[in-house]
Structure 1
């Protein structure tokens, strides 16, 4: 099983599937469909007879129920095909370090890039594992092609082992998760699932039932432009206004200074000329109150700065991105209980975590499909230091199989 899931993973990561937030289409990049077409072919070849790619780049498929019980809920297994725009995903060259014996891992394509045990102590638990990395010039794509590979490998195992009783399982591979549009065009009637799991988590054994709540904030600034030679007492440079706003952000409320359950205000983009400037932010917190207080703080900073530029003006726009899925999942405790049992049966110690981020499951939960997140095994996501263990991917496959059995047994 490990070879199967790793072989699939290695096939998928070399296909460039980066999403693009500046694109208005769905999917945001046509190249995401390249992986989608391959996945449809593979699903058809293992017996998922209805596998298909839709116009939005989503892959759908069904593993039919093989139990006489009619009461087993329909479960959706979901993973995303796109990789993050944060770092190059073009020309990925994966390498396997077989029977890892400990120590730092220097990446062959860029010797300055080292996966250090001091930074990633989980490596101490991977002695003897086969570890997959990129060559250091790109990200690897374990986020979330590990999850994709695990779902396909589990589907193959269930189809080849009909003695394992399970209900109907729906497969959903999404596009554009990394840019917050992963489930925008999902056809819920076609999906027809009661509950779901995204295979998009980190360390082996982790189950996540809580995410950040997330908003985006856009600030547009209109300054006062005039020839620099005539500017005394008259010019109000929009670039300087933007800089003043950024300079006043609390340093203890940034991603790089927060951890655990602390939220943050994070500037993600700035552009401008003398006359006008634009600032983009993401705001994150585990509670709605925390989210709104941070947005109020950001708006107050903006207003205070603009007071010193009386000829200038601004607009402040908040856009909801996703909400903490725990609010929904707490109403369906069996989703987590069954996942905990499945992880335990897979031979791991279950660990419940909160995500300092979001998944497709965050939005699916609020769109009517309560959805928890299960480990895919990857680490150092969105960076050239990304890595995943073959053995941890195998454990994820086993967890999916056990999850199918638990839902059938307890129906």
Structure 2
């Protein structure tokens, strides 16, 4: 069949159902997954996959969904995986999401009815210019929407349905992976790649239609502990060293005009404090360090430690510890060694009727770590915009294009195989 002639999409209906299930992850939690409610959606996904005839679909105890769409060709085709995450960001509420469809969008301001102060304007969201005549989905003003990444989940689910219903679309084994806790950086901590059994992967977790991301930040975390001296405040003169004040001094001495998220763009890196907590005796600062050039992480960390040391030495008797932990690395370092996985994705986007655009991300995806774990995995658009906040939106037509892209990629791997 001609894939681009498909019209019986169910992706929007899938999406509207999925976003109403609260799957917010919790960075403070030590459980796996971080919240049990993520499994509420994952169980539904397994049931729906099984109803499609995908018999091995299952949810493991750690919140991962695995499934296989069996090969329908005699060719020897690499096994590919499509992956999305079920959790939504802790940055904004995901409880009682009310998806609203703004049909036949004509460029107007989108006033969200549950909080009319939340207005989505084309002037602030220039990608809306591409949506004239399309159907735009938003939340109602009290929550995020959850397009990150339930758009990707819905797209993979609709593509699975279409592949199972249309055996004339030839493909090899296709693996489906839905992960928890991506938004808090733990999305692939417990994925079983041996059980998954894929040669290449694609995360459906990008933004604008037609884009593919093969480059991410490299990322480290830094934890700084400041040790002060606690004395009764009534007798503290010349004796107390307030760790909270030392920590605040460190924050105040960070560069004001560079090396921060609010002063950088494109491939410029940054040093970003994310949390501060403590008492007079001990205070802890958490930082994330980001750069597309992995080697520059060490430079940023050295500059930060030099700043910390300079501040702490002004407080006679104070001490500090400085701990660096690796988070993820720029997946381009791996993908450049496996160019075929990117080339086929670009061809799939083009065949779905779009101009393919390769981009870098000022962030990371599950694909960043999967690539370094042995599963080369670029990131394909899912169509969502303005992630992690109440102005999040996605268009029905862009999600449909993502479904077509998945189908074309599956068919292309079979087409180019012997």
Q: TM class by shorter-chain length?
A: over 0.9
Query: Paired residue for 2:105?
Result: 100
- Output aligned runs, 1:96-245, within 5 Å: 96-245=101-250
- In the alignment, the residues of structure 1 paired with residue 381 and residue 52 of structure 2 have an alpha-carbon distance, to the nearest angstrom, of 24
- SS of the residue 1:379 aligns to: coil
Q: CA deviation at 1:167?
A: 0.7
Query: Paired residue for 1:303?
Result: 309
- In the alignment, the residues of structure 2 paired with residue 268 and residue 90 of structure 1 have an alpha-carbon distance, to the nearest angstrom, of 24
Q: CA deviation at 1:2?
A: 6.9
Q: CA deviation at 1:3?
A: 4.9
- Output aligned runs, 1:37-48, within 5 Å: 37-48=43-54
The answer on whether the counterparts of 2:9 and 2:158 sit within 8 Å (CA) in structure 1 is no
Query: Paired residue for 2:320?
Result: 314
Query: Paired residue for 1:74?
Result: 79
The answer on whether the counterparts of 1:239 and 1:277 sit within 8 Å (CA) in structure 2 is yes
Unaligned runs of 5+ in 2: 1-6
- In the alignment, the residues of structure 2 paired with residue 339 and residue 235 of structure 1 have an alpha-carbon distance, to the nearest angstrom, of 61
Residues 2 and 78 of structure 1: is their aligned pair in 2 closer, same or farther, counting only changes over 3 Å?
A: same
Query: Paired residue for 1:270?
Result: 276
The answer on whether the counterparts of 2:82 and 2:156 sit within 8 Å (CA) in structure 1 is yes
Q: Deviations over 1:217-260 (max 9, x none)?
A: 11111111112222222221111101010011112111111110
- SS of the residue 2:44 aligns to: helix
The answer on whether the counterparts of 1:237 and 1:275 sit within 8 Å (CA) in structure 2 is yes
- Output aligned runs, 1:52-91, within 5 Å: 52-70=58-76, 72-91=77-96
- 1:385 to 2:391 alignment: yes
- In the alignment, the residues of structure 2 paired with residue 116 and residue 62 of structure 1 have an alpha-carbon distance, to the nearest angstrom, of 41
- In the alignment, the residues of structure 1 paired with residue 8 and residue 113 of structure 2 have an alpha-carbon distance, to the nearest angstrom, of 24
- In the alignment, the residues of structure 2 paired with residue 77 and residue 17 of structure 1 have an alpha-carbon distance, to the nearest angstrom, of 20
Normalising by the residue count of structure 2, what TM-score does the alignment of the two structures yield? 0.97
The answer on whether the counterparts of 1:2 and 1:390 sit within 8 Å (CA) in structure 2 is no
The answer on whether the counterparts of 1:212 and 1:358 sit within 8 Å (CA) in structure 2 is yes
- SS of the residue 1:378 aligns to: coil
- 1:284 to 2:329 alignment: no
Which deviates further from its counterpart, 226-235 or 179-188? 226-235
- 1:373 to 2:379 alignment: yes
The answer on whether the counterparts of 1:2 and 1:394 sit within 8 Å (CA) in structure 2 is no
Residues 234 and 399 of structure 1: is their aligned pair in 2 closer, same or farther, counting only changes over 3 Å?
A: same
Q: Deviations over 1:33-76 (max 9, x none)?
A: 00000000111111211110001110010000101102x10001
- 1:403 to 2:409 alignment: yes
What is the total number of aligned residue pairs between the two structures?
410
Q: Aligned-residue CA RMSD in angstroms?
A: 0.9
Query: Paired residue for 2:255?
Result: 250
